[in-house]
């Protein structure tokens, strides 16, 4: 069976489960939505593990990649650059300590600082920079990137696990105004699965931390369900039915450009990236 089929089965199961949970929770209020989210988080972690249980060790072995420490407050753009290194980008691999800062300075210069501390840039800025074709314009003594890259917003642990298991992409995520890179999965000796995480504040060189699926889903991945009470305002969400709430979720999940409200995205080589759900804004 194609490995993607195992993830597809679990995605379909999770969608059915989500509908059942929302229907059973009706009417859903600003208070009860957090209990619903907890149930869905636990179910999605189980679904991701079920898909991986049928597959065995990851198809992608990262080895011991070399990472570059961020300069200033460039954690998001540095994590994107480190992700490109693990994707084998020759331009960065040739001189990572010089060219990663070259890239991050270009991202800072060509994206908006509005509402952001220092040189920090959001997932939305990465999307605009990469979709705008800026990457291939970067030049260092006549050398340029070998290919283009892009990001796709995500709030799906199952999608993240599939992407990291196959090695087709990397995960960039923001938590508490600091961005990290998820670059691979690892199966421990006891059979448990973890995500391999790189904090760009670590010194340059190899090294990473391990993160449980529970923590990844709960603390890092964007969750529109948890944000709905705040997004709708104190008087806009007294109670919702399952169909109405699913409609809101479908609209959020179809968006490509959510700024700092969506802190998680998958980084791909552009030729391998999923199609955009909607055209980027001009």
pLDDT 10s digits, 25-41? 888 887 788 888 899 99
Query: Which tokens sit at 244?
Result: 């109405």
Longest CA pairwise span in the chain (Å)? 62
pLDDT 10s digits, 36-90? 889 999 999 999 999 999 998 999 999 999 999 999 999 999 999 999 999 999 9
Rounded-to-integer distance, Cα 148 and Cα 102, Å? 16
Number of domains in the chain: 1
* Residue-level pLDDT at 257: 55
Evaluate if pTM is beyond 0.75: yes
Residue among 184, 232, 202, 238 nearest 60 (CA): 184
Residue among 45, 83, 68 nearest 196 (CA): 83
Span 175-183, average pLDDT: 91
pLDDT 10s digits, 183-203? 999 999 999 999 999 999 999
> Residues near 234 by Cβ (< 8 Å), separated by ≥ 6?
none
Span 203-220, average pLDDT: 95
Question: What DSSP assignment string belongs to 202-253?
Answer: SPSBS--EEEEHHHIIIIIS--HHHHHHHHH-TTT-S-B-HHHHHHHHHHHH
Choose between 181 and 278: higher pLDDT.
Answer: 181
Average pLDDT of every residue of the chain = 89
Domain with 211 in it? 1-282
pLDDT 10s digits, 237-275? 667 788 887 887 777 776 665 544 567 899 999 999 998
pLDDT 10s digits, 107-159? 999 998 887 888 999 888 999 999 999 999 999 999 999 999 999 988 899 99
């Amino acid at each position: 069976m194609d490995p993607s089929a195992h993830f597809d089965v679990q995605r379909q199961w999770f969608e059915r489960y989500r509908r059942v949970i929302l229907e059973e929770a009706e009417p859903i209020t600003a208070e009860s939505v957090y209990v619903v989210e907890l149930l869905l988080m636990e179910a999605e972690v189980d679904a991701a593990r079920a898909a991986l249980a049928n597959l065995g060790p990851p198809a992608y072995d990262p080895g011991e990649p070399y990472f570059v420490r961020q300069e200033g407050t460039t954690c998001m753009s540095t994590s994107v650059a480190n992700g490109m290194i693990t994707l084998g980008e020759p331009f960065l691999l040739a001189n990572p300590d010089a060219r990663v800062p070259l890239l991050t300075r270009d991202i800072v210069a060509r994206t908006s600082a509005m509402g952001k501390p220092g040189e920090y840039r959001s997932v939305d800025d990465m999307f605009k920079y990469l979709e705008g074709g800026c990457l291939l314009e970067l030049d260092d003594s006549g050398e340029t990137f070998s290919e283009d890259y892009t990001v796709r917003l995500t709030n799906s642990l199952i999608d993240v696990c599939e992407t990291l298991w196959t090695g087709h992409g990397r995960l960039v995520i923001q938590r508490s105004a600091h961005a990290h890179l998820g670059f691979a999965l690892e199966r421990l000796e006891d059979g448990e699965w973890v995500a391999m995480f790189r904090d760009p504040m670590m010194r340059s060189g190899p090294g990473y931390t391990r993160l449980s699926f529970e923590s990844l889903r709960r603390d890092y991945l964007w969750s529109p369900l948890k944000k709905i009470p705040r997004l709708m305002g104190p008087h806009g969400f007294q109670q919702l039915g399952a169909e109405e709430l699913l409609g809101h979720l479908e609209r959020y999940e179809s968006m490509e450009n959510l700024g700092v409200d969506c802190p998680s995205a998958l980084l791909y080589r552009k030729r391998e990236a999923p199609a955009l759900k909607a055209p980027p804004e001009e």
